Chains A and B, each alone.
Chain A
């Protein structure tokens, strides 16, 4: 028995649709998945909160409101269908991210800042 379900996100073909591949039943009638981004208060960034299922964008906004802002978590919601999110592959993580590891000089810590500059 396959107890671990594997989900695919990111750059995957449309026909797989980010669906669970380990179960056999028909997913074609399920609502698509949407990623939810919430702004907790005016002036702050929208942050990824999680994902939901919905039939269309209007329902996605409402479902996101009901699932993720019922405890006053937000003042603004973005939703985007998960299939439109393109992600890096974990297999390529070394090539993508490791070259930055030995380049600490890219941090602005080697400059002498005047005391008046408080936030860098």
Chain B
């Protein structure tokens, strides 16, 4: 167990939670009932993955000595619990950490905007997840391998869903094609961060727990190119990429998201329902 392994687990968990929350915002607002339910199902898959990962992260955190875990995160509420010697649970990691404690990709915190932006974000992330989990199922760390194995089936369906929508919109009407291309161009700069190795990524690769992101990048690029071609849109030529999410430097969007996501636990600490 190491702090980098905890951070690595949180990278995975935060991606799942924030992406799942974003998709859940569509609940009750979907363009048709069937797609509303489809998105809620996918959202719940991500939240399920997040729960498994947070449980594992909480166990790792509780095993750390006091001086290692106190002030590991900036959140006053979390440190207050730790200093009292309380056991940290999955909900504490989800609801009590602050924006700069989160290690999710900038991509997943970007707002839904419209159907095209939502599809593009899901598509870019789903393809990444497919190759990430496919590789993680061989992780030396049993817990991570087991979660990857279970998630893989869900992710395979997510890709099917988002890829088909990429093709429907891109190869659809003139308006849907234009709006998908616009969304793809606008979200493209958030795709580079997926393959940028953080300290946690590097250390976990060395220990056989993590994955080689350069390999995943190749697989991801090939997969993306194929669907983009079928969707008759263009890959953006601008390759300037945003960075920062894995280091806790987030866009303002995450702040608004967490305000809503964490409201109940912040206003009514330890409430259950």
Contacts and interface: CB of A to CB of B under 8 A. Distances in A.
A59 interface: yes
B164 interface: yes
Contact of B164 (A31, A59, A70): A59
Interface residues of A, number: 12
Nearest to B160: A62
A54 B34 contact: yes
A70 B168 contact: no
- Main secondary structure on chain B at its contact with chain A? helix
Nearest to A64: B34
Range, interface on chain B: 10 to 19
Interface in B176-192: none
Interface in B140-179: 160-161, 164, 168
B41 interface: yes
B38 interface: yes
Interface string A46-70: 0000001111001100110011001
B160 A66 contact: no
Contacts of A59: 164
B37 interface: yes
A62 B161 contact: yes
Interface of B: 32-35, 37-38, 41, 160-161, 164, 168
- Interface pairs A-B: 6 shortest CB-CB: A63-B34, A66-B38, A66-B37, A52-B34, A66-B41, A67-B37
